[in-house]
Amino acid sequence: MKKYHYEDFTSGNGIGRVMLKEKCIACGSDRRETAFDLGDTRIYRCPSCGLGVADPIPAREDLKKRYEAEYYETGYSEGIERRPSEAAARLLDVLEKHTGKGRLLDIGCGAGAYLAAARDRGWEATGVDVSPFAVNFVREKLGIPVRSGFLDEAGFEESSFDAAIMVHSLEHQQDPAATLGLTKSLLKPGGVLFVSVPNFAGVSALRRGSEWEGLQPGFHFYFFTPGSLRGIAARAGFEVLEVSAPVEIISGASVDAVLGSRAGALARRVARGLMGSAIDRARKRASGPAGGDTITMMARRPEGGI
């Protein structure tokens, strides 16, 4: 199997970190500008494609220490054993339209919600995660075989998976281009990949700036736009099927739920009008369908591809 290596070095203060690439991994530009200076972390943006990258990016051993039990305490519980999420069901519906049921790899599987849903629907599901806590949880609580470490440490066989998913994990990678290149080699020809990431060009990111929740210094290291995500995947050799980031629509029912049963008809009409205007402004600011908070991508390893 081809090895993908990350170039670590030790800085003057003794903290292991990863050197920034000289050129943008999405479009090849050698230019970058400072988007945000957050003190211990600086976020750079490519002026050509919009891809963001954090500096510093910690070395591997440092990263593994960051995903201990505390990271998962508020986000996961044993409830995932009993009921797969609606998001997992929708994702599996999409995958099954492209490839049917087969072998599924979850890269950055966390506490295994998507793996549990896939297994229950008849997939042969496995995953990998850098967090020993998450890996032990999935093995012991869900009974699903997963591997610990980074993807290139896991030892998966080439051309052995029908589908792979990366649900909000690509932004945590030290080198997304290398990760996608290795992922393609693990898929069978014609195998499909689903990726979801926060949208660096979305409404919330544009509005909140340095306070945007998607930055998460110390955990998120790359910040994608729809175009830059497409570019990285294409450079890794994928056939990109679809990239989207739609703005969510606020319905009349949502307005009613917020206002409660005591609100009168006039209040409801005013609130709906204000929300509709806000949505229109957000769409214009974010150039239409690329303005949602999450980007999703479907891609395929070409038939006969290397």
**pLDDT tens across 133-163, in order?**
999 999 999 999 999 999 999 999 999 999 9
For position 258, what pLDDT does the model report?
40
> Quick one: tokens of 80?
């995932």
- State the Cα–Cα distance between residues 183 and 193, nearest whole angstrom: 8
What DSSP line would sit under 240-288, residue for residue? EEEEE-PPPPPPHHHHHHHH-TT--HHHHHHHHHHHHHHHHHHHHHTTG
Dihedral angle over CA of 236, 138, 6, 302, nearest 10: -10
Task: Tell me what the pLDDT averaged over the chain comes to.
Answer: 83
Q: How far apart are CA 44 and CA 55, in angstroms?
A: 8
Alpha helices in 9-68, H assignment, sequence order: 60-66
| Predicted local distance difference test score (pLDDT) of residue 18 | 75
Q: From residue 262, how far is each of 219, 258, 265, 279 by CA, in Å?
A: 43, 11, 10, 25
Q: Where is pLDDT greater, at 266 or 67?
A: 67
pLDDT at 287 over 50: no
pLDDT of residue 245: 92
* pTM summary value: 0.81
Predicted local distance difference test score (pLDDT) of residue 247: 77
**Which helix (H) or strand (E) element contains residue 198?**
strand 187-198
- Specify whether the CB–CB gap between 129 and 167 falls below 8 A: no
Mean pLDDT within 259-277: 50
